[in-house]
Structure 1
Amino acid sequence: MAQTTKYVIKYKLNGERRFEFAQLENGTAEEAKAALDAIHGQDDVISEISVSKAL
């Protein structure tokens, strides 16, 4: 099993600021986008993704 770290993902969902916590391996924007796609529907527009380690 891969080592994961808790990250906070800040993003806009359909123009509205949101954030989620996720366990990610590397904390890359691509990894965060995949996690957000799993949470939200196909019709939602996700933009301005920023990832940082949770405190």
Structure 2
Amino acid sequence: MTTTTKYVIKYKLNGERRFEFAQLQSNSVEEAKQALAKIHDASDEITDINVSKAL
């Protein structure tokens, strides 16, 4: 079983700053993009992704 850690993903959605919490295996931007793609429409522009460990 893979272990996950709670991370905060800071990003811009269509130019508006947002953040989400997610259980990820690592703090990779690619994994964060996949998590964000699940909750937003394909037409949404997601930029400036930053992943850090939640406190």
Q: Separation in 1 of the partners of 2:25 and 2:3?
A: 6
4+ residue segments displaced more than 6 Å: none
2:34 maps to 1:46: no
Cα shift readout 1:1-55 (whole Å, capped 9, x = no counterpart)? 2100000000000000000000000110000000000010010000000000000
Instruction: Please list every run of 5 or more consecutive structure 1 residues that lacks an aligned counterpart in the other structure.
Output: none
Aligned pairs for 1:1-55 within 5 A: 1-55=1-55
Task: Give the alignment's Cα RMSD to 1 decimal.
Answer: 0.4
| TM norm structure 2 | 0.98
Aligned residue for 2:36, secondary structure, equals helix
| 1:51 counterpart letter in structure 2 | V
| 1:19 counterpart letter in structure 2 | F
